[in-house]
Homo-oligomer: A and B are copies of this chain.
Amino acid sequence: MLKTNMLDVLKKARRMPQVILPKDAAMIVAYTGVSPGWNVIDAGTGSGWLAMFLANIVKPGKVVSYERNEIFAKNVVKIIKDFNIDNLKVINKDVLRAKPRGRFDLATLDLKNAENLVPKIFKLLNDNGYVAVYSPHIEQVKRVRKVIEKLGFVGPVTIENIVREWKVTDDFTHPVPSGVLHTGFLTVAKKAGIAKSGLRR
């Protein structure tokens, strides 16, 4: 039987700060292979959409998401209740000062100065766990990549994706003339396990 569709939740979540688009959330799936059972740490929560999208996929795994803005955090807590999302916890605290418990298989960062958070994330990740950082600006990408490489993450990759919608008719088929040309760059890297030196591709 068809369960609640996260795309409907997205519509609710849209009222808050700018959300990461489905196309970009999908790239996190494509490049990390995030799966049921994974535990995820997410910051900042923002509109909460990415956290909910991931909670939906990792179930019975859990997502903990940090947001220092109280209004944003409360908004997501309400949506979580409305949709009964029981494997997502939103914490209204600056993640830099927080002390998350346990270890994680994936960390998703969508906040300013994400590079400052990466060393802490490195410690919180399980071996073979992934960090995925979403950066609107190229300077952010450079700072994040620098920290990631210094810490010894393996296989770092930075991508951007352009999605084009097509209008399809009998005789006038063409891409929609205008739309989104840029959202952000996604950087993904893996925390090497013991056989670290041999894993670099």
Residues of B within 8 A of A84 (CB): none
A contacts, CB < 8 Å to B: 1-8, 21-23, 25-27, 29-33, 35-38, 56-57, 59, 105, 126-129, 136-139, 141-142, 145-146, 156-166, 168, 170-183, 185, 187
Q: DSSP majority for the A interface?
A: mixed
- In the assembled complex, the Cα of A182 lies from the Cα of B105 at a distance in Å of 32
A182 CB to nearest B CB, Å: 4
Instruction: State whether A5 touches B27 (Cβ < 8 A).
Output: no
- In the assembled complex, the Cα of A30 lies from the Cα of B54 at a distance in Å of 11
Residues of B within 8 A of A32 (CB): 5, 7
- In the assembled complex, the Cα of A8 lies from the Cα of B59 at a distance in Å of 21
- In the assembled complex, the Cα of A181 lies from the Cα of B145 at a distance in Å of 21
